[in-house]
Amino acid sequence: MADANETFAEIDTDNDGYISVAELKAYLDRTRKVSEAANTRYHGLLDENNDGQISFEEFERSFLARG
């Protein structure tokens, strides 16, 4: 199983240190087809500070919570 760093790097395709809605959608489409609405809801859950992007810290908290 990949760790949070590896998974984050795989999703953050532009390497800007954040996961955008489009990057998350592309990743989820590759791994498990989801609707646009589901992607937007999921992104909103991970984006704790509502700045429109998921930082590594936000991602790591959710990734580790799955443990």
CATH number at 52 reads 1.10.238.10
State pLDDT tens for residues 8-49: 999 999 999 999 999 999 999 998 888 989 999 989 999 999
Domain count, the chain: 1
Per the structure, the complete domain to which residue 60 belongs is given by 4-65
Q: Look up the pTM and report it.
A: 0.86
5-27 exposure pattern, b = at least 16 Cβ within 10 A, e = fewer: eebbeebbeeeeebbbbebbbeb
